[in-house]
Amino acid sequence: MNKQIILYVLVGLLISGLLALTFFPGIIQAINDSGKSGLDKCKPAPGYTEESWREHMSHHPNVYQECLT
């Protein structure tokens, strides 16, 4: 019985994580960029156009505040 509960919790966490990554695909990039210096994180990441990178940065103003001004 206890093993089933643990299994259900793990499956629920896995599904929640996959849903979060599906709805917020740029969150990993924002987390990676949170420790970078100004010019490094303002450059478009691989796979982004200039316009799509600006849109991505606008969703994370606390991380990219110096790039958005």
Q: Find all residues with CB under 8 Å of 26, minimum gap 6, and list them.
A: 56, 59, 60
Residue 52 belongs to domain spanning: 2-68
65: its two tokens: 């505040």
Number of structural domains (the chain) is: 1
Q: What is the pLDDT of residues 5-61, one digit of tens each?
A: 999 999 999 999 999 888 887 777 777 766 666 677 788 878 889 898 888 888 888
pLDDT at 62 over 90: no
| 50, 24 Cβ separation under 8 angstroms | no
Cβ neighbours of 43 (radius 10 Å): 13
